[in-house]
Amino acid sequence: MQQPNDGFQDESIESQTALELNVSSSLESLQTEEQRLILDTVAQIRKCGTDGILSLPQLVVLSRSIRPAFSLDVLTIEVEGSLQPQLTLVDIPGLIQSSTKGVSNRDVDLVAEITTKYISQPRTICLAVISATNDAANQSILKEVRRVDPKGGRTLGIIPKPGRLPAGSGSESKFLELVRNEDVFFKLGWHVLKNRSFEEGNSSLMERSESETTYFRTSNTKSLPKENVRIHALGSRLSLLFFEHIKEELPQLPQDLESALLDARSQLALLGNRRSAAKECRIYLTQLSMAYQETCKAAVKGHYKDDYFHKDADHSLSIDSPATIA
């Protein structure tokens, strides 16, 4: 399921006014005229329905599944606003290890099919969301992204709930090692968030931001670079990453579009003219019989220039077969 989201939101612990000023100033440098033009161009191409025939630059979120049902249909959600960064995310169903009471084997296969379809595209940047409490070696998400991106050139790791780790524990040390890109290496690095816990489920966005800010100021994660932590930094980071990625891939898109267009025309030509009426069917059969007659005449006279005689060169009756040439 595709859930493009055109913005991340963040709140200042000072006031809502400070929040707006903070977000506006940070996004102003990202949303240049060049960026808007490039991102809008790709957005328009995507809206033409070319996803099925053309690989477009995209950010795909890959995580564990919490949904009860799955579908190949695409749900698009657009969020517009002056404070929203230009950003599109594709949120695909999370990986499932095995079937359960509410999840059938068909669901498992469907999710695997959707996941492979998106992350195997070379223009896809994978956002691998993993658990902080589970060892990296045991996480199937990392296994999948490393299968399609073995050098880690187009993957960004995201860890949303580091607060579950006991302070000073060995698991926390392994987590910090992972975030510093010292364990599983990704060229795009890692990012850490502190999302709401179950107890904080009813808290506001302002309260969530306060909790996140306090955590990264007081926990052992305070040693991490500020651009690698918090939701606001992630929004800016993804927006800039997406822009640079599109700018790099854009020069090749016209050639790919032309190739896809030629292929579509070839496939359409193979269908021939429509034959929905009786008159059209008669014309088609007449043309077919005439073409057959001309092919037979050419064969009798030994004229083998027609494409028909050069099909299936491995066939014993083909003019290009080794036996015929000999």
DSSP string, 111-171: HHHHHHHHHTSTTEEEEEE--SSS-GGG-HHHHHHHHH-TT-TTEEEEE--GGGSPTT-HH
Query: 């102003």: which residue's tokens?
Result: 28
- Note the pLDDT of residue 128: 94
7 inside domain: no
Query: Do residue 281 and residue 195 come from a single domain?
Result: no
312 inside domain: yes
- Note the pLDDT of residue 190: 96
Cα separation, 206 vs 149, in Å, equals: 37
269 inside domain: no
Three-state DSSP at 191 gives strand
- Using CA atoms, how far residue 63 sits from 115, 143, 155, in Å, is 10, 12, 13
With CA atoms as reference, report the closest residue to 4 among 92, 67, 114, 68. Answer: 92
Element (H, E) at 58: strand 58-62
Number of domains in the chain: 2
| Residues 65 and 96: beta-carbon distance below 8 Å | yes
Tokens of 156: 């960004």
199 inside domain: yes
Q: Give the phi and the psi of residue 52 in degrees, each rounded to 5.
A: -75, -20
Query: Do residue 101 and residue 185 come from a single domain?
Result: yes
For 54-107, the pLDDT digits (tens) are: 777 888 888 875 555 677 777 778 777 766 666 778 888 877 766 677 777 888
71 inside domain: yes
Query: Do residue 229 and residue 148 come from a single domain?
Result: yes
CATH number at residue 243: 3.40.50.300
Cα separation, 144 vs 60, in Å, equals: 13
- Using CA atoms, how far residue 296 sits from 308, 311, 313, in Å, is 11, 15, 19
- Note the pLDDT of residue 29: 46
- Note the pLDDT of residue 45: 76
Helices (H) and strands (E) in the chain, counts: 10, 5
pTM exceeds cut of 0.85: no
3 inside domain: no
Mutual angle of helices 16-28 and 231-249, in 10-degree steps: 20
Give per-residue burial for 56-83: e unless 16+ CB within 10 Å, then b: bbbbbbbbebeeeebeeeeeeeeeeeee
Domain that holds residue 90: 16-258
> Per-residue confidence of the chain (326 residues) as pLDDT tens digits?
444 444 334 433 343 434 333 433 444 444 577 777 777 777 777 777 666 677 778 888 888 755 556 777 777 787 777 666 667 788 888 777 666 777 778 888 888 888 888 899 988 999 999 988 888 888 888 999 999 999 999 999 999 889 888 888 988 999 999 999 999 999 999 999 998 888 888 888 888 889 999 999 999 999 999 999 999 899 889 888 888 888 888 888 888 888 888 998 888 888 878 888 999 889 989 988 998 898 898 888 888 777 777 666 555 555 555 544 44
- Note the pLDDT of residue 28: 45
